[in-house]
Structure 1
Amino acid sequence: MSDMSLPNDPQEWVERFLGHLRLERHLSPRTLESYARDLNQATHWLETEKITAWQQLDQHQVRSYIARRHRQGLDPKSLQRELSSLRSLFRYLLREGVAAANPALGVRAPKVRRKLPVTLDADQISHLLDIRDDDPVAIRDLTIMELFYSSGLRLAELISLNLGDIDIPDAMVEVTGKGAKTRRVPVGRKALAALDRWLAVRSQLAGAGENALFVGVRGKRISRSTIQQRLRHWSIEQGVPRNVHPHLLRHSFASHLLESSGDLRAVQELLGHADISTTQIYTHLDFQHLAEVYDKAHPRARKK
């Protein structure tokens, strides 16, 4: 290591890495908490194994650590997340000149058994969104649900929307997604009508100077728990046979759009997925059909 002032303590490097994720990659607090939890577990294991520096780890030891976590009862999805955290940490250590290799790269966790996402069908969506109530809170709730289903937004993306992010003349919304990446997605006719109604009554709830598109009854930006609670309320009120939550509406958006269009790349763009393979979990289509759509859609996959 060329810079003798660099620390050797594993926990210090975890703190530096978390700072890098926060300041350079602009990850959300919840994602940072997840990284911290995973890497603190690994740091504790280093102490029990008398390993004093990250660069001493080899692939065999990483595999041993993952096997131990598996014996402790961690499911495959959690093991994959812990491995991903270790890989990301070592990419940072490589960048900083601290490690010579990434020992987590060749290690695989047990396969996650993927479940098809639960969705509502088009009739159930129509029934859920058939809310005829002039109360400002009800108008707000309907607009939130229409926007989730119209544009496939994540919960955090919807909460972070400001008034200036909605372009009603162009029927578009600018969304800040994971890793502070922005994208513009279309807003459907029904969602635009709901937005018009909400903007007409928003001042009855919003506090002075509040820039958030959606606000709670106290006038401030609406919270995650409030949205989740209100969606549960409407699923009961409208007699929908499932507990409605934001991701259920996002799943439904993606599934209905892909079933109708067959355009996997377009759905990937609208959902804000960096990797096309991630989009697969939002569909009811089998993998073979997804591969066929990909072959037809992707410029480097298309057959001449």
Structure 2
Amino acid sequence: MIEVKTEIKKYLKYCSLEKKLSKHTLKAYRIDLAQFIAFKPDISISKEDLTKYIQYLHKTYKPKTIKRKIATLKAFVHYLYYKDIIEFNPFDKIDTTFKEPLHLPHTIPENIIHQLLTASYQNILTAATTHQKLVSVRNTAIIELLFATGARISEICSLKINNIDFASKTVRIFGKGAKERILQIENRDVIAILMKYLILIDDSTQPNSYLFQNNRHNRISEQSVRTIIRNLEKQIAAPLHITPHMFRHSVATLLLEEDVDIRYIQRILGHSSITTTQIYTLVTSSKQREILRTKHPRNKIHITQ
């Protein structure tokens, strides 16, 4: 019988050194697997124990969280089988499929995005000190890049200075699983604010430094970006709560509404599967229904019978 706790430590080390997974992914794996061994003192990698744990997850968590935790456990068990630590994979005999409720992505209306950007640029003009100006320019550059690229918040926070190429007007983004994609920046305002920010931080001699830094010149955190957006949200008295990921949803949806082929959107967002991108077609279908309900001229024609 294997020592599950010991094998988890080895697995996390393998994920870090050999698979080169991000700190964010490793943290999620660590939490999920620690929860697995905490479920039962003598937990084993058996069909019975795995089934009981999955049943527990279904009673305790929402579908999206359940799906992630099962995926983490599956990856760990596959590693054990791959390394010949277990003789067979018990997940081959466990049906883990289940139907998730459909939740349409939340987007930001274009007029609200316009207000956010306007307020952010206004903060630069009203900055009273050099430090306030630097922070305002940095914050504006973050908002511009979120909307220009549709990148995940973790991808934006992890950008290095040398990931921006002004000659080709491109940004090199490293997504999930260290997958790389290069996106063109075709808006002059976005290029201009990035150049302005780099001049202000004067860190061009250290191209491997993080692009967006906090007051201690360390990588800005995802939570700090959420706070930046929340402050802008309050500043414009936005009628909805705005999250960084909503910029990603908005980019995809607005591009679809402009008849951009879904496969181009898949590449822009860095989705490994077109199925993930197709959720946005449901958003545009919902928008189409609203347009036909409220804007179609037939609805203005009333027939007396």
TM-fit CA distance, 1:281: 3.8
Structure 1 counterpart of 2:12, one-letter code = L
Structure 2 partner of 1:150 = 148
Q: Which one-letter code corresponds to 1:224 in the other structure? A: E
Give the Cα separation in 2 of the matches to 1:219 and 1:14.
34
Q: Is the 8 A contact 1:18 1:36 kept in 2?
A: yes
Matched, 1:33 2:27: yes
Q: Deviation of residue 39 (structure 1)?
A: 2.1
Letter aligned with residue 33 of structure 2: L
Counterpart of 1:261 in structure 2 is 259
Q: Is the 8 A contact 2:149 2:183 kept in 1?
A: yes
| Cα distance in 2 for residues equivalent to 1:47 and 1:217 | 44
The number of residue pairs the alignment matches comes to: 273
CA offsets per residue over residues 146-188 of structure 1, 9 Å max, x none? 1000011111111121221111221210011111222111223
Partner of 1:66: 54
Q: 1:238 to 1:118 in 2, by over 3 A?
A: same
Distance 2:225 2:271 in 1: 23
CA change 1:212–1:42 in 2 (3 A) is: closer
What amino acid maps onto 2:51 in structure 1?
R
Between the aligned partners of 1:21 and 1:199, the Cα distance in structure 2 is: 34
Distance in 2 of aligned mates of 1:27 and 1:167? 25
State how far apart, in whole Å, the 1-side matches of 2:22 and 2:35 are. 20
Q: What's 1:10 paired with?
A: 4
Task: State which of 87, 100, 122 in structure 2 corresponds to 1:112.
Answer: 100
Distance 1:37 1:217, change over 3 A: closer
C-alpha deviation, 1:252, in angstroms: 1.0
Q: CA RMSD in A?
A: 2.6
Q: Percent identity?
A: 30
Which blocks of at least 5 consecutive residues in structure 2 are unaligned?
A: 126-132, 289-305
Structure-2-length-normalised TM-score: 0.80
> Structure 1 residue 139 and structure 2 residue 133: aligned?
no
Q: Does 1:239 align with 2:237?
A: yes
Q: 1:86 aligns with which of 73, 81, 92?
A: 73
State the SS of the aligned residue for 1:175: strand
What is the one-letter code of the residue matched to 1:192?
I
| Residue 61 of structure 1: how far off its partner (Å) | 4.5
Equivalent-residue separation in structure 1 for 2:243 and 2:84 (angstroms)? 44
1:189-237 Cα offsets, whole Å, 9 max, x none, are 131122133223233xx69958222222344332322222111111221
Q: For the structure 1 residues 87 and 239, does the alpha-carbon distance in structure 2 shift closer, same or farther, using more than 3 Å as the test? A: same
With over 3 angstroms needed to count, the CA separation of the structure-2 counterparts of 1:15 and 1:26, relative to structure 1, is: same
SS, match of residue 181 in structure 2: strand
Does residue 78 of structure 2 align to residue 98 of structure 1? no
Report the residue type matching 1:79 in the other structure. I
Greater Cα offset, 29-38 or 138-147: 29-38
Aligned equivalents of 1:259, 1:25: Cα separation in 2: 38
Runs of 4+ in structure 1 deviating by more than 4 angstroms, as ranges, are 206-210
Q: CA deviation at 1:244?
A: 2.8
